[in-house]
A = this chain, B = another copy of it.
Amino acid sequence: MTLETIGFLGLGALGAPVAANLLEAGYGLRVWNRTPGKTEALAAQGAVPAARPADACAPGGVVISLLWDDASVLEVVKSDGFLERLGDGVHISMTTMTPEGSAAVADLHAAHGSALVEAPIFGRPEAAAGKQLWIPYAGPAAATTRARPILEACGARGVFDFGEQVGAATTVKLVGNFMIIAMASAMAEGVALVRGHGQNPAPVLDMLTSTLFDAPIFHAYRRAFGGPPPQLGPIPLKDLQLFRASAEAVEAPVVLCDALVTLRGG
């Protein structure tokens, strides 16, 4: 099956397995990463490395970005020749960002005749490799209709249409990550209480995650508590800061968010 060739920007821990899924599904890929060395493994699988984001675009084509935050997405969209080269194409933005940042990106596209589809990804790199991602998406109907089969080929277990409003899918991802971090932090503070009383947390977590908290995300963290502490790196703090900035923009409460930021050393 010959499918169109897509641009793919950002080959990090999550981007690399998502891009590999697209290749496997039959899409051609032009790949770009800030650190050039990361394109090599995908090039060996048939992807064509691009020197700049603009070079990964084709006129009227589809380009996917999976970067760090608002600033990194805006930098790519404003980069030399990017919007001009994309023409009336579609930008599928998978980065976790604020609805405010997403609106700024959408405005740039609208001014140049292209369209933004928000499609932030829920799932760790293992979930991408196992095609178990959950993807909410939002954008102009013509663009999301074109994007949807591509999202499914990215390794989705399910995709969810959040309509045309800018920020609609972005917000889902911010809230979901916020809830994940709150849950992991509550589990950690609970485990500390159990350990403080000289008890083994394993059977406690076994009971809770097989009853009230019998959900995929709790099973993942329960496994993490069974072994070495989960290595979450800087992502939770970054995502909490995005949630906080977005909540402040609309004067929504951040009491719990601030406690979680404190717990993450922010």
* Residue ranges of A at the interface with B (Cβ–Cβ < 8 Å): 99, 122, 134, 136, 158, 160, 162, 165, 167-168, 171-172, 174-176, 178-180, 182-183, 185-187, 189-199, 203-204, 207-208, 211-218, 243, 246-247, 250-260, 262-263
Contacts and interface: CB of A to CB of B under 8 A. Distances in A.
A176 B191 CA distance: 10
A196 B252 contact: yes
Contact of A171 (B134, B182, B194, B218): B194
8 contacts: A122-B211, A134-B211, A160-B207, A165-B199, A178-B189, A182-B183, A211-B216, A255-B263
Given A183-B179, A216-B212, A263-B256, A197 B134 contact: no
A193 B175 contact: yes
A172 B6 CA distance: 51
B183 A183 contact: yes
Contacts of A122: 211-212
Contacts of A187: 179
Contacts of A160: 203, 207
A185 B258 CA distance: 13
B185 A256 contact: yes
B250 A207 contact: no
From A99, A180, A213, A262, residue with most partner B Cβ within 10 Å: A213
Given A162-B203, A199-B168, A213 B208 contact: no
A175 B194 contact: yes
From A122, A160, A243, A263, residue with most partner B Cβ within 10 Å: A160
Given A196-B252, A215-B213, A258-B259, A178 B207 contact: no
A192 B255 contact: no
A55 to B, nearest CB: 35
